[in-house]
Chains A and B, each alone.
Chain A
Amino acid sequence: MRVALFIPCFIDQLFPNVGIAMVTVLRRLNVEVYYPPEQTCCGQPAFNTGYWDEARVLAQRYCEIFDDADAIICPSGSCTAMVRNFYPELLGNATRTTARTYEFAEFLVKHLGVTDVGAKFPARVTYHDACHALRELRLKDEPRQLLREVQGLELLEMDQAETCCGFGGTFSVKFPMISYAMDEVKVTSIQKTGAQYVVSGDSSCLMQIDGYLRRQNLPIKTISLAEVLAST
């Protein structure tokens, strides 16, 4: 089985540890992976802004790069959703490559059938449901199943778990005041749980939430699901 890594551009550049953590976990589970170095970006920024012709070029490029993979694993719900749900609209139809692109937690639980990855992370943790993962990929239980098997981890639910954090890509800078208000609502909900960490499968959300936490000097930390699962 050829299992390829799809590392979104912003994770490659800003949060490489998330990708490294994902590789660590996969190796722990004896999954051999490879990383096509020609990959760049899934095209979502262009697509979401309405530049579909531009996004289509990158969609075709993605399919070429990952053509010989049996599975493509991505540590981002939004980029996975872009490929699996929106590439078919751009290209006119789903392809073998688009259909076999999976989000990391999704791959572990639904395809490897694994929920215990041998992780240890003793802390009080709450989970933020990133919108694309939740509503485009329909992932709600899978990340929680994984977190519940992590040694020492106490999983707390916030009342606004499913409410958008306010990132939304360029929305966060085009409508910063609204994005900020949404950020504040999310952080308030996180604080009410008493959690030490907020976890998510999407680092863009974590960046948005972290941006608020750090500016307000709050003690809560953000961490990706991959990094929690890589912890031992």
Chain B
Amino acid sequence: MTTASEQFLRDAATKTADLRHRGVIQKNIASYDAAVTRGKARYADWQNARSQAAAIKWETVNHLDRYLEQFEQNVLENGGHVFWAETAADAREHVLQLARRHGVQKVVKSKSMTTEEIHLNEALEMAGIHAVETDLGEYICQIRGEPPYHIVTPVMHLTKADIAQTFQEKLGTPPTDSAEELAMIARAKLRREFMTADMGITGANFAVADTGMIAITENEGNARLSFSLPRVHIAIVGIEKLVPHFEDLALFWPLLSTSGTGQAITAYSSLISGPRQAREIDGPQEFHVILLDNGRTRLLADAEQRDALHCIRCGACLNVCPIYKNIGGHAYGTTYQGPIGSVITPHLRDEREWSHLPYASSLCGACTDVCPVRIDLHHHLLHNRRNAIQHKFDNPIQRLLFATWLWTMQSSLRYTIVAKLGNLTLRLGFAQSLLKPWIAKRDFPTPPKESFGKWWKKVERASRPFTPSKQTVETPVLHDL
């Protein structure tokens, strides 16, 4: 057991017992499900859209060097800068360097998983740079000093009253009961931040190779303001975010929003090709793309699971996962959560430390069914489990147990004897401690005296009276045999 897995079990226990948490998530996901059903109904052939997206992503990821180079060349030609960051530390250091060079005191940030992945906010604060989260939910979390409660709705756990109180305490605003007024308070406050910030930092949902653009998808408009008003714009982009052609966005934008929120497309889908041009009247003087590896090339090298890099970060697999719905995202203890998180984290981070995540799944397969780019998610969880055993991350007792189990199952005689012993043990009530994780809260069946095998032997020995069915059934034809 590692620290991360111990923490996971603790957090899972807390969250699964929290019925309020469960109720809130269920309500949110019910409305998400309804929206996605409506969103998919807009498609003539949703399955073909998935297949097309999977094919484009396969092409991109399996020729990634070519597309990365093409992307870089185009960004440079458009007047932007490209920095290649091998690690999170490299990416953070480069951002700080740029901030120092430009005398940055305040940064406005739009919600970005890559910036969370590299722990950018802490680094900026330590360097004395005030980084303001501008996504409304994230902003509320920031002024409360709390981490986001849930990836899709960061303040799912707060009521209007909670938020009003926070604004009263931290911003000195009058009390209100209206969600609209609260949003307008945040809007006014953040407007001043946008206007006075020196630098805007965003992520990117896609990076377009043939035009050297990054694509940013949002509903609020805070990303647009972050890349329009400050004099420097930095976008931190995972190397897997590439798509080959500008035209591919006609497929990917609706795919992302349909799976992500059920919308046909989000309120703002923007493309940035570079800094302000001479013929333009506003925009940042400098545009920087940081291409982030941070373990992605490790995942790329695993050809069996390489398709996990096709992920467009829609969140659909999280929203359908019964584990995620019961424990919430925070319990995963790492940036990427839910099924995709459990698949990629052992590759992006220490494999042994995070080997428990692929096991925290009942392998129901719902994730694989909803993934818009057809990543074989639940099978990759099995692959990760196999890898963990091959690397001998398991505890020796378990290994011995399975070796014994195999030895037993290789002979029907041994199986019968061991099963009989187990049967007796259970019936006599001696297996309580072994079964504790089950019987703490669930009844366990009392095994019957006679197994199927025993019954068959008995029945076969006696003469079998053949009783035809009450209703006439036509002589069955075995199809396809």
Classify A-B as touching or not with yes or no (CB < 8 A).
yes
* A contacts, CB < 8 Å to B: 1, 3, 7, 9, 11-17, 19-20, 27-31, 35, 37-41, 43, 45-52, 54, 57-58, 61, 70-71, 100, 110-114, 116-118, 131-132, 134-136, 162-164, 166-169, 171-183, 185, 207-208, 210-212, 214-215, 232
Q: State the CA gap A181–B442 with chains docked (Å).
A: 11
Shortest distance in angstroms between B90's beta carbon and chain A's nearest beta carbon?
33
Assess the A162–B402 pair: CB atoms within 8 A.
Answer: no
CA distance A116 to B476 in the complex (A): 12
Given contacts A19-B455, A163-B322, 4 further A-B contacts (CB under 8 A): A14-B445, A41-B415, A111-B480, A131-B362
| Given A40-B412, A50-B394, A215-B442, A136 contacting B365 (CB threshold 8 A) | yes
Report whether B322 and A166 are in contact in the complex, using a CB–CB cutoff of 8 Å.
Answer: yes
Q: Please give the distance in Å from B140's CB to the nearest CB on chain A.
A: 27
A45 to B389: give the CA distance in the assembly, Å: 13
A13→B322 contact, CB < 8 A = no
Q: Given A28-B469, A178-B12, check contact A164 B412 (CB 8 Å).
A: no
The reply to whether A7 and B452 contact each other, CB–CB distance below 8 Å, is: yes
Task: Assess A50 versus B440: contact at CB under 8 Å? Given A13-B419, A57-B410, A178-B16.
Answer: no
The chain B residues found within 8 Å of chain A, CB to CB, are 9, 12-13, 16-17, 22, 26, 322-323, 325-327, 359-366, 368-369, 382, 385-390, 394, 398, 402-403, 405-406, 408-412, 415, 419, 422-423, 437-438, 440-445, 447-448, 450-457, 460, 466-471, 473, 475-481
B386 adjacent to A30 (CB under 8 Å): no
Residue of B nearest to A209 (CB): B442
Alpha-carbon gap, A35 to B458, bound state (A)? 12
Assembly CA distance A63 to B180 (angstroms): 65
**Which residue of chain A is the closest to B13 with respect to CB atoms?**
A177
State whether A179 touches B470 (Cβ < 8 A). no
Please name the residue on chain B nearest to A26 by beta carbon. Answer: B476
**Alpha-carbon separation in the docked complex, A87 to B476 (Å):** 29
Tell me how far the C-beta of A88 lies from the nearest C-beta in chain B, rounded to whole angstroms: 12
Let me know if B368 and A135 touch, CB within 8 A.
yes
Q: How far in angstroms is the closest Cβ of chain A from B408?
A: 8
**B438 contacts A19, C-beta separation under 8 Å:** no
Q: B476 contacts which of A30, A51, A70, A134 (Cβ < 8 Å)?
A: A30
Contact between A173 and B437, CB atoms less than 8 A apart: yes
B326 nearest CB neighbor, chain A only: A181
Partner of B467, one of A27, A171, A185, A214: A27
A11's closest neighbor in chain B, by CB?
B452
Q: In the complex the two chains form, what is the Cα distance from A208 to B323 in whole Å?
A: 16
Per DSSP, chain A at the interface is helix
A176-B440 contact given A49-B385, A50-B389, CB 8 Å threshold:
yes
14 contacts between A and B (CB under 8 A): A12-B452, A28-B473, A31-B476, A48-B385, A50-B386, A58-B406, A110-B480, A113-B477, A131-B362, A162-B366, A177-B12, A177-B16, A181-B326, A185-B26
Select one of B366, B423, B448, B466 contacting A164, CB under 8 A. Answer: B366
B388→A50 contact, CB < 8 A: yes
Q: Give the chain B neighbours of A135 by CB distance below 8 A.
A: 364-366, 368-369
CB neighbours (8 Å) of B389 from chain A are 49-52
Q: Across the interface, which residues of A come within 8 angstroms of B362, CB to CB?
A: 131, 164, 166-169, 171-172, 179, 182
Which residues from chain A contact B454 at a C-beta distance below 8 Å? 16
Chain A residues, CB < 8 A from B440 = 176
What residues of chain A lie closer than 8 Å to B327, measured between beta carbons?
178, 181
With A29-B469, A211-B444 known as contacts, the answer to whether A131 contacts B478 (CB < 8 A) is no
Closest chain-A Cβ to B356's Cβ sits at a distance in Å of: 9
- How far is A180 from B326 in the complex, measured between Cα atoms in Å? 10
Q: Do the beta carbons of B364 and A131 come within 8 Å of each other?
A: yes
Q: How far is the CA of A51 from the CA of B239 in the complex (A)?
A: 33
**Would you call A117 and B469 a contact (CB within 8 A)?**
yes
Residues of B within 8 A of A173 (CB): 437-438
Query: Chain B nearest CB: distance from A104 CB in Å?
Result: 14
Report chain A residues within 8 Å CB of B12: 175, 177-178
The docked-state distance in angstroms from the alpha carbon of A179 to that of B361 is 9
Q: Is the CB of A172 within 8 A of B438?
A: yes
